[in-house]
Each structure stands twice: as structure tokens, then as C-alpha cells.
Amino acid sequence: MARRHTKQEAPADPAAEWLQTHTLQDIRELAQELSDNGEDVADLVQAVNELEQLLVDTKVETPAGTSEA
């Protein structure tokens, strides 16, 4: 009997998966850890600040129904 090979699904994008389960506060905490270890996180913090402002400006709601910022 011939063996059937099924094509395996490509693994999910780990970055997208992480973003679906974490908040901007998680990113801020990660940035703090990196900063504590001597990493320059100024660009990351600026990007988070800009994203928070964008959320405020567009009034995007989180799944819990409250603003992210």
C-alpha cells in the first residue's frame, strides 16, 4: 500500500503569537529588563510611546473593553 504524505503546516509566526498574548506593559517590562542589562532601549520605548498615543488617538479598545494606555 502506498504511503500518503501530508504536508506539515508551517509553524506559526512566534512574534505574532507573542503579540497576541502580551500587552504594551509587558513590552515596557521587557525593555526595563534589557535596560537593566545595559541594552539601549530608547528606540523601543519611543515606539511603545508612539503606539500608546496612536491607541489613544484612535480610541482602540482592548478585549477587556478598556483603553490600552
Tens digits of residue pLDDT in 7-20: 556 557 888 888 78
Q: Which of 44, 20, 23 is nearest to 33 (CA)?
A: 44
Q: What is the pLDDT of residue 69?
A: 45
Contact status, residue 61 vs residue 67, Cβ threshold 8 Å: yes
Grid coordinates representing 63 are: 478585549
Q: Which of 54, 49, 4 is nearest to 31 (CA)?
A: 49
Q: Does the global pTM surpass 0.85?
A: no
Tens digits of residue pLDDT in 24-66: 999 999 999 999 999 999 999 999 999 999 988 988 666 665 5
Contact status, residue 41 vs residue 29, Cβ threshold 8 Å: no
The residue behind cell 541594552 is: 39
Q: What is the pLDDT of residue 16?
A: 84
Q: What is the pLDDT of residue 42?
A: 97
Q: What is the pLDDT of residue 19?
A: 79
